[in-house]
Amino acid sequence: MPVSSTRLISCLRAAAAVIATLGCLWDGAWASELRMTPLVRAVQSARPSIVNIHGEKLVGDAASAAPGDRRRVNGMGTGVIIDERGYIITNHHVVDGVKKILVTTHDEQTFVAALVSHDPKTDLAIIKIDSAQPLTVIRIGTSADLMTGETVIAVGNAFGYEHTVTQGIISALHRSVQVSDTQSYQDLIQTDASINPGNSGGPLLNIDGDMIGINVAVRAGAQGIGFAIPIDNALNVATDLLSTRRIDRTWHGLIVENAKPTIDGALIKEVLAESPAERIGLRSGDIIKSVASRPVFRVLDIERALIGKQPGAAVPLTIERDSKVETIDLTLASLPERNRPTLDGGLAEGDRFWTILGLKLEAVPQRQFQAYRTKYRGGLVVTDVRVDGPAAKQGIRRGDILVGMHIWETITSDNVNYILDRPDFGTLEPVKFYIVRGTETLYGHLSVARNTQ
């Protein structure tokens, strides 16, 4: 039967509509694919591992009369998840002096974080949050092969605007920067990607979404000049800050370095005498492939795998030796006194205070300290005074509570270490101190023995 002209026109119109619809779908899919650039993919892959940090901190003028003469301000910064159990790397200055560190993840969950360890000299710190679910760890690259001119991406809590993304290039490498009278940095990456207050502690990414730096500083009064700590340098510090000797006071006796880029694993550089590693026959040149069933790609992975392992725990290590792979149990031991972490590569903490200040100090439980009814938040009790030391010359005696030095509170021994480690410490001498004795608050000036370190 012949098709009527009316029906034919109707069929043609329907076909045209179908073709138009398919064309739109094709154009839309094509447009979406074009929009999914490498930069977008890089940000999307890294975003779940980036956190925002908030909190109040005390600030004050260097000429303040006492630690209590400071004001509270809102601080902000950024951090990066480096272990699924909630360990986060950030800048020390982001969390320094913050009483309650609040961390917000990409899915808008907020946690209270604990400060695990820190290194004021390199301006890096490790904090930890407790999440019911494993967290997404950032993909870590290397800063060994960076090129001037390559594309980089900064992500952070810029001016409080969470997960702000900026793009730029590497402007220069190996920069030394003095950002203030008290803080300087060496061997930084310079970038023109916008880095603003609040970006500190966040990642600098390459176009693949790998973290190749930790954003750290801006040049005051300049535009398009920001800086980041190369990730290889930052991970060396993070490895020490997360080491089992610091966290759990356990010992394996291995000195390890990253293997060549073409080799998966970490290379044993040295095995310490009379150590657990020596007892099981590990030796220089062995390559560690896994620890406690966790694959090892860099030295940091070894320390991450050992976190929480107690003395006496047998930890399986898979090693490669002479092209042969074998698994052997490493039994961790308590850290000997001679190998306790030291500060400035010299004295252990207790000896350091005794040598430099002429004091032995212990923390005062908060409930006990509240009985003094003072405006200070805490302090360290003097348990002994060296007869010929700086403290004795100023009349400090057993039972006194050290509550401050210069403009800083001394609630914990870390506070005292921070003060002693400051690059500008020499300009503060003799350093003003504050003690609580009974119902009185007293002060004086210490000429400390820095040359004995």
335 three-state secondary structure:
coil
| CA dihedral (406, 411, 415, 416) positive or negative | positive
User: Is 388 among the residues known to form the active site?
Assistant: no
Q: Any long-range contacts for 256-260 (C-beta under 8 Å, 24+ apart)?
A: 256/288, 256/299, 256/302, 257/299, 258/298, 258/299, 259/287
Q: How many CB atoms lie within 10 A of CB 12?
A: 10
Task: Look up residue 342 and give its two tokens.
Answer: 């030291």
| Contact between 58 and 70 (Cβ < 8 Å) | yes
Phi, psi of 241, rounded to the nearest 5 degrees: -65, -30
Task: Give every CB contact of residue 235 below 8 A, 6+ residues apart in sequence.
Answer: 140, 298, 299, 300
| Contact between 152 and 171 (Cβ < 8 Å) | no
Selected catalytic residue, list 93, 118, 163, 252: 93
| Contact between 411 and 365 (Cβ < 8 Å) | no
| Contact between 92 and 79 (Cβ < 8 Å) | no
User: Is 32 among the residues known to form the active site?
Assistant: no
430: preceding bond cis by omega (within 30 degrees)? yes
Q: How many CB atoms lie within 10 A of CB 310?
A: 11
User: Is 93 among the residues known to form the active site?
Assistant: yes
329 three-state secondary structure:
strand
Residue type, 318: T
Selected catalytic residue, list 123, 240, 248, 286: 123
**Strand stretches in 148-265, DSSP E:** 151-158, 161-178, 184-191, 203-206, 211-218, 226-230, 250-251, 254-258
Selected catalytic residue, list 49, 194, 200, 243: 200
b/e map of 45-74 (b: 16 or more CB within 10 Å)?
Answer: bbeebbbbbbbebbebeeeeebbbebeeee
| Contact between 124 and 241 (Cβ < 8 Å) | yes
| Contact between 130 and 118 (Cβ < 8 Å) | no
Alpha-carbon distance 399 to 126, whole Å? 33
Task: Look up residue 193 and give its two tokens.
Answer: 């990607």
Phi, psi of 277, rounded to the nearest 5 degrees: -65, -40
User: Which amino acids are annotated catalytic?
Assistant: 93, 123, 200
